Amino acid sequence: MMIGKNVLETEPISIAEVKKVLEDFAEENELTYEQNLTLDHVTKFSKIEFEQSEQLIEELKEPLGQKKYAIKVAYMMPDDLADLRLLFTKERIPYEKEKMEKVLEIVNKYR
């Protein structure tokens, strides 16, 4: 949330939530150029709907530990362990094969 030039708080949100917020906003307001570009991007790349995305993120928080990681996985919807490993190459989370297989199992329920 921003007021003026100071960031008061930040929280990661899913691509499906960005899409929902922009669509709701567009119903009553005219979108700016940047907002239109963003809406176009999230419409093309959003793989599941908002409600499914929220459920998926909730389920992924347990094995992954943090919401930001769950959102990252929900956005990319990796197909296998190699894809999943690539998502976390720069992160400092321990890679445990059992946990990652559980993550893939959860993701596959939402395909």
CATH of domain 50-109: 1.10.150
- Average pLDDT over the chain reads 90
3-state DSSP percent of the chain in helix, strand and coil, to 5: 65, 5, 30
> Which residues, in sequence order, are bridge partners of residue 3?
6
Q: How confident is the model over 13-60, as pLDDT tens digits? A: 999 999 999 999 999 999 999 999 999 999 999 989 999 999 999 999
Tokens for 12, please give them: 């990661």
Counting residues of the chain whose pLDDT is more than 70, the rounded percentage is: 96
Any idea where the domains of the chain sit in the sequence? 2-45, 50-109
Q: Which residues of 32-57 are buried (b: 16+ CB within 10 A; e: fewer)?
A: eeeeeebbeebeeebbbebeebbebb
Read off the pTM.
Answer: 0.82
pLDDT of residue 97: 87
The position carrying tokens 């005219």 is 30
CA pair distance 75, 47, nearest whole angstrom: 7
